[in-house]
Amino acid sequence: MPSYPPSRIRNVALVGHNGAGKTTLAEALLFATGTTTRQGKVDDGSTVTDFEPEETKRKLSLSLAMAPCAVGDVKLNVVDTPGYADFFGEVRAACAVADLVVVVVSAVEGVEAQTEAAWSHAAALGLPRLLFVNKLDRERASFDRTLADLRERFGSGVAPLELPVGEETAFRGIADLLTDTAIVYEGGKATTGPIPEELADLEHQVREQLVEGIVVGDDALMERYLEGDVPGTEELEATLAGGVSQGLVFPVVCGSAATGVGIDRLASLLAEIAPAPDVRPPLEVRAGDTTTEVRCDPAGQPLARVFKTVSDPYVGKISLLKVLSGTIRPDTVLTNPRTHTDERLHVLQLLRGKETEPVSEAQCGDIVAVPKLSDTATGDTLAPKGTPVTVAALDPEPPALSIAIRPKSKGDEDKLMTGLHRLQEEDPSLVVERNDETHQTLLRGTGETHLAVCCERLARKFGVEVATEDVLVPYRETITKPADAEGKYKKQTGGHGQFGVANVRVAPLERGEGFHFVDAVVGGAIPKQYIPAVEKGVIEAMGMGGVYGYPVVDVQVTLHDGKYHPVDSSEMSFKMAGSLAFREASAKAGPVLLEPHSRLEVTVPASMQGDILGDLNSRRGRVQGTDTLQGGYQVITALVPTAEIQRYAVDLRSLTGGRGHFRAEHDHYDVVPANLVDKLAKAKGD
């Protein structure tokens, strides 16, 4: 493709619920614009944008993919995104570079959970939106029902630009309200003609409403309209484009991506009314402690942001970036302000699915791929040398589910960590942690499918097969009253023996205070050089577990007396004496088991609040409060035992049909109810 100025670029993200037909729509746009010679299908794995083995296996988009095409002299940078909730982070990344969001809705299922989620996210970013009602050729498809659903969910700004000609299997064309004509598709050809008689009255009525809705945004046009001068198609499109750009109007168009009906009109409409990058509001950037604005100007200083990283087993790391200002060319050198590293952009490529094509330059507003950037990650800014400006980093999707993983083959630990690091570069919503209490490596993600795909990619890309385990809850123990004990370690083995006696007193501390050791020995009962050994023995005993087998916390240990032998005493003997003394004292000090509690914030539709409250009660949760949000949502805050929400991401999705989400963070430790202690102690023993 040649270089395009920003005025002739349209960055469009396809978003919506899984199964709405986004990938098929991307294929149809590529085919309708002559970019490809055949239209691939999701079912047989032949699509351009679903090319990863994990995607073809599941027949499911798992990451965003580029599908650029040309409509006349306009370049459409189409970004296909997943519709499954686990991969919403990819939708966020696509929206960060889009200038228009096409919300794809199935005419059979209507508005679904991820339709709403994508709409809300785009609205929060102030992005213009267009709605495409897909699958009108299917049984039980209804444009009228879907349009009513859209208006109910998304407001009066939803305005149809097209009506379907025919229903279900008889769907064969669209009535274009702007041009007042019908486009009928038969035998692979589109024919433009008058509106069919059976549709004429409805089309006239809806067109009149549309024209009135468009001219309201332009005072001069409105005045002419009231005087009987109906604007022409070009004037209507120009005014409509302004309303779309300002987020006042959300056009609805229709068609079938599978049969191609309406797709050529959609491509033309995107070229006509989607805002170009240079008409979007300027971007805020930070330069040190100051904030400034950067406009999309090809003559400006070169500035780009990486919004996606792809790990290719042959090429290595490929960075997808959007040029925000200026023009970049091969061998341009830019600086990464985060790492203070100079990056040479050796090659610029157009990326379409997995295929690449070299390009000679990319002007601001365009999207290109750059391989082998050495020290740049997703979300990083690339700025001119000496001008360390940064764009706000992309917020990754917060993890909601964890699994414990380990390599199946011994010796693969280093390969595992290398592979996980590469996957994190590709997917910032992945979090890898090492829990030193449970000695597990935790892989945290947004859901079951997300984590399963990560494990499959570890095996395919990096040759590391992993076994998964349940995440162990880091229970702890403490004591509830003071107690005294003597620890005596005596051993005779010929020659020098081992002898040490330590008298300790244990007492509970406030929750979260940890461990205090007090040296109260007087009169030289224990020589000073052996007292640190007693403390070390106590600490080791606490770590190895108390009565129930879990680490002991929040205890003060006072060493107040002891005995030693001038020949047989040693650091080892007093370390053992300290350990024995602590074990005996803590067993007499009213030991209790502690469990972690998480602070949970659950956001759900208000109609589901009762179900969520009941579910939280069944998990031993204590509700702290509720808040009402705009759009009919409630935020419920509760303190819940961490063990009860290990799979809450899965359960909440089931309870709310995917419309609920949550955040959880550790809050405190509290005593385990007596009826659960024996079960947990037995599990630890096993």
pLDDT of residue 682: 61
Annotate 580-611 with b (16+ C-beta within 10 A) or e (fewer). bbbbbbbeebebbbbbbbbebebbbbeebbee
Q: In this structure, are 433 and 528 located in the same domain?
A: no
pLDDT of residue 347: 95
Residue 1 lies in a domain: no
Residue 248 lies in a domain: yes
**What interhelical angle do 143-154 and 113-124 show, nearest 10?**
40
Q: How confident is the model at residue 268 (pLDDT cuts 50, 70, 90)?
A: very high
3-state DSSP of 561-579: EEECCCCCCCHHHHHHHHH
Residue 91 lies in a domain: yes
Q: In this structure, are 10 and 142 located in the same domain?
A: yes
Q: Could you tell me the two tokens for 491?
A: 């051993």
Average pLDDT over residues 248-272: 96
Residue 331 lies in a domain: yes
Q: Number of structural domains, the chain?
A: 5
Q: How confident is the model at residue 617 (pLDDT cuts 50, 70, 90)?
A: very high
Q: Which of 410, 437, 469 is the last residue of a domain?
A: 469
Q: Which of 261, 279, 297 is the last residue of a domain?
A: 279
Average pLDDT over residues 283-290: 87
Q: In this structure, are 149 and 243 located in the same domain?
A: yes
Q: In this structure, are 222 and 88 located in the same domain?
A: yes
pLDDT digits (tens, 9 = 90+) for 415-470: 999 999 989 988 999 999 999 888 899 999 999 999 999 999 999 988 999 999 99
Average pLDDT over residues 629-644: 92
Residue 365 has pLDDT above 80, yes or no: yes
Q: In this structure, are 432 and 379 located in the same domain?
A: no
Domain enclosing residue 526, as ranges: 477-590
3-state DSSP of 170-211: HCCEEEECCCCEEEEEECCEEEEECCCHHHHHHHHHHHHHHH
Residue 396 lies in a domain: no
**CATH value at residue 663:** 3.30.70.240
Residue 35 has pLDDT above 60, yes or no: yes
Q: Which of 238, 254, 279 is the last residue of a domain?
A: 279
Q: Of 7-11, 82-86, 494-498, 596-600, which gets the smallest average pLDDT?
A: 494-498
Q: How confident is the model at residue 411 (pLDDT cuts 50, 70, 90)?
A: confident
Average pLDDT over residues 562-588: 94
